[in-house]
Amino acid sequence: MKIFWTILLSFCAGVLLAAPFEWTTFTSTSSVSDMTVLDGTIWTATSGGLAGFDPASGAFDIYTNTRGLAMNQCVAIGKDAHGYIWAGFSDSRITRVNPVTGDVKQVVDLAGEVYDISAILDVGDEVFVAGNNGVYRFSYYTIVENYRVRESIRVLGTFPGETRVNCLAAAGGYLYAGTAIGIARASLSHPQLSAPAIWENWTTANSPLPENYINILQGYDSLLIAATWSWIITFRDSAVVHAQVLPGVANLSSSAFAYAATETDVYRFHYAPQDPPHEWRRIGSAIQGIRGIDRLAVEESHFIFLGLRDTDQGRGGVVSGVETDTVIWDQPRRAPGIGGNYIGAMAVDPGGKLWVGGSGLTPGVYVRDGDSWTNYSRSSGRSEYFFGAAPTGFVFDNHGGAWAASLGRGAAWFHGDSITYFNGYDSTGFALVNGQLTPRFSGIGDDPYYMETYITRSTAGDVFFGNLEAASRLSVVGVSHDWIQQGNHSEPWTYFSPKLQGQYSDYAAIGPVIADGLDRVWAGAGRNGTRTFVIDINQTVTDTSDDYWWAYRPGDRRDPTSCLEDIGSEVLSWTIDQQGYLWIGTTTGAYYTQGGVPYDIGQLRFVCVWDLPVGERVNAIHVDVHDNKWFGTNEGVAVLDKNFMWIHVFQTATSTENRSGLVSKNVLSITSNSRSGEVWIGTADGLSRYESPYVSAGGDLADLWPYPNPFRADGSQRLRVDPVKLGGRFDDLRVYTISGRLVRKLTWAQMTDPRSVGGWDGRNDDGELVAGGVYLMVATSTDGKSAVGKVAVLGR
């Protein structure tokens, strides 16, 4: 019998890897790389997906990979005659989106042919796509109800074959292609544009072009406008109508008038054919506080829209303005939601709020409470020094406060309605030492303000920091729960310095810290470090006289049978599971303590995770409420249960195997909500939420007893639950395979209806009878109560 269940569980795990899951993607769509206007809505291509903005209502409509997009890194945008928006992605795939119906269609013709889409242009019923190796002409085919490549245009006249095309435009019956070596054009009247002989070439050698590199092209009535690095030139046919020095033009657009945008300004072309001279003039004054203009779109005659990219000064967005005698610009508009896409740290607080640490150009703290986000960053008006760096971790104290460490800007304490900052600038977080206000952390040798910190908390509620490469060499910092209880005050914290630090030159090179069940603090080797240090504080944070220290090199304590090679010293992540095992993630894999964490560190031995299914660099390890270990790697996520069986492997939808709705394979952080079963996975390209069956039993819900058990799923029976033994009422009941694939979601009324229609009919959400096997049933209520049961299903 045991062999049977082992085979069954292994089979279910195998089925799981190819099955769909309930995934939701959360991204920031503030960084605009391209934009267009369709029926009054501004559509933008962003690093977080496709975003539509309705200026009339102020509403946003967001599409991501879990809403039909091929991926989220959208680099080009266009439209077609059938009312669809085209989103071109960094891997050459294209998704067509119908904004009215929400219908999505994939265009995969360029897969394997192109690795960079630079522009999408509609001309009549056709669409032209520019890429790294030419231009592709798409036509609509009713038999497939989609666009397909009609011809590949790889040679543009005398230009070298497969020249990269930066931009496209149509004007005066010609198709124009801008490249790094000039402009190529061909008459649209030719039935086949792939014939090299029909293309003309303009360069500085044979035309009035002042520079060969063409950044952007725009048709304006019968005119062609071209922008190079330093010039903007207007052609009628092949003759120059106007040329003007205007460096840094990022984008062109036209309606009744032609407009040009640089990074900080907008210009209009004053063109009067019968009344020269013509001129590009800046409209209005400089746009206050706006940087990073990357795209420009105009609607009707005087409505102007700017697409801003994220910069180190803050997030981008969409800016609108109306040109009258001057231009009044609105503030940048962004879709509500998470503040960035590079998610390096996360944690769920005791109240269920998700705390997220964002990095990249938009560092900050993003907090999700229910369905709403609160972003603490420079873009949200926070000018404090702390928000110039990425958080490295969060912990929560015993008094409702949240603590955040950072990659160079010290730490922050969110308590009540206040935030206290601990760095070299904000004196409200300083300590009073010998009558002098002193920063709580130490900078590195050549920069006293660079304070890289990592964070953990003990079971007693004390907070500990690792202060990487502290010039003071006091690299472990303790904040007692008594200090926290009193609120922010100037009493110094505790600084730990090993009596053996003279023996080890790399003591200061520590990074992540963790407290074990005995409240010992482990300080892992950081960059350039080779040892991990362990401090036994003897249950007293403020008294360091009785502390005991150990130091070890991980490679000296490895199990040679499982560790075929030396194990990495640098600690990227670690956690302790419910059985007391310490799990460590490194740049070259993961390992754990043999037999749990020993009382005597001298008995410490490490076993390597030699069969990690995906990835090598283990950036995150998280233990959920069912004691499953979630490994976040550079190639996806793998989940190990408490019996050391791999039960899930998640990669992206484009992976060869293990496909899922995961937003990116480059996973940086993982956390979970034990009450809801939500697993949050932070990546370099956004945040993924996986709705798992791993919830805690709690509250008034006791035992979930399904009956009949076994249950025959042949359409002749209904499975119900015993409400008496349950001891309460649930809101949702979800049926999962034993490996976690959602099969059916039912309500209390559906499960307890006394009529013949009540209960589960053995079908999945598609109306199909399920296969035989063991299924999990998870009942949850909106106030956090839950119960779990199992049922053996007999197939037809």
Q: Any idea what the CATH number is for the domain that residue 779 is in?
A: 2.60.40
The confidence band for 181, taking pLDDT boundaries of 50, 70 and 90, is very high
CATH number reported for the structural domain that contains residue 117 in this entry: 2.130.10.10
Paired sense of beta strands 451-457 and 32-38, if any: unpaired
What separation, in Å, do the N-terminal and C-terminal C-alpha atoms of the chain show?
Answer: 22
Residue 502 has pLDDT above 70, yes or no: no
pLDDT of residue 11: 32
Are the CB atoms for 708 and 720 separated by under 8 Å?
Answer: no
Structural domains counted in the chain? 2
Residue 13 has pLDDT above 50, yes or no: no
Contact 360, 47 (CB under 8 A): no
DSSP string, 454-467: EEEE-TTS-EEEEE
Specify if 750 maps to a domain: yes
pLDDT reported for residue 753: 65
Q: Does a structural domain hold residue 358?
A: no
User: Would residue 377 count as lying in a domain?
Assistant: no
Flag whether 652 is in a domain: no
Stretch 520-525: mean pLDDT: 94
Overall average pLDDT of the 474-494 stretch: 95
Q: Residues of the chain with pLDDT > 70: what percent?
A: 92
- Tell me the residue type at 373: W
Residue 317 CB neighbours (<10 A): 28
Pick the last residue of a domain from 286, 312, 338. 312
- Give the pLDDT score at 286: 55
Residue 287: band (very low, low, confident or very high) from pLDDT cuts 50, 70, 90 = low
Would you say residue 720 has pLDDT above 90?
Answer: no
Q: Which helix (H) or strand (E) holds 482?
A: helix 481-485
Query: Is 521 or 702 the better-scoring residue by pLDDT?
Result: 521
Question: Are 493 and 479 a contacting pair, CB within 8 Å?
Answer: yes
Query: Which of 284, 312, 340 finishes a domain?
Result: 312
Per-residue pLDDT tens digits for 425-461: 988 899 988 889 999 999 998 899 999 999 999 999 9
**239 C-beta neighbours (distance < 10 Å), count:** 8
Task: Characterize the bridge pairing of strands 494-496 and 510-515.
Answer: unpaired
The DSSP 8-state label assigned to residue 3 in this structure reads: H
Mean pLDDT, the chain, whole residue set = 89
118 belongs to a structural domain: yes
pLDDT of residue 285: 60
Residue 761 is assigned to a structural domain of this protein: yes
Residue 765 structure tokens? 């959400």
pLDDT digits (tens, 9 = 90+) for 616-631: 999 999 999 989 999 9
Find out whether the peptide bond into 363 is cis, omega within 30 degrees of 0.
no
What whole-number distance in Å separates Cα of residue 290 and Cα of residue 330?
11
259, 223 in Cβ contact below 8 A? no
In 3-state terms, what secondary structure has residue 278?
Answer: coil
Q: What is the pLDDT of residues 649-694, one digit of tens each?
A: 999 988 888 889 999 999 999 999 988 889 999 999 999 999 887 8
Name the phi and psi angles at 623, rounded to 5: -105, 125
Residue 179: is its pLDDT beyond 70?
Answer: yes
Per residue in 195-218, pLDDT (tens digit) is 999 999 999 999 999 999 999 999
Please report which confidence band the pLDDT of residue 787 belongs to, taking 50, 70 and 90 as the band edges: confident
Print the domain residue range for 742. 697-794
Positive or negative, the Cα torsion across 463, 681, 356, 440? positive
Give the C-alpha separation, 753 to 170, whole Å: 64
β-strand pairing of 402-408 with 391-396: antiparallel
Question: CA 50, CA 42: separation in Å to the nearest integer?
Answer: 11
Sequence-separated (6 or more) residues with CB below 8 Å from residue 640: 609, 628, 629, 631, 646, 647
Q: Would you say 85 and 36 are in contact if contact means Cβ atoms under 8 Å apart? A: yes
- Asked if 522 and 515 touch (Cβ cutoff 8 Å), the reply is yes
- Give the model confidence (pLDDT) of 263-285 as tens digits: 888 999 988 777 777 899 988 66
Q: Are 114 and 136 in contact (CB under 8 A)?
A: yes
Give the residue with greater pLDDT, 342 vs 565. 342
Does residue 154 belong to any structural domain of this protein?
yes
Mean pLDDT of 411-437: 93
User: Does any domain span residue 193?
Assistant: yes
pTM given for the model: 0.85
Alpha-carbon distance of 473 to 471, in angstroms, equals 5
Does the pLDDT of residue 499 top 70, yes or no? no
Residue 26: which of 721, 788, 683 has the closest Cα?
Answer: 683
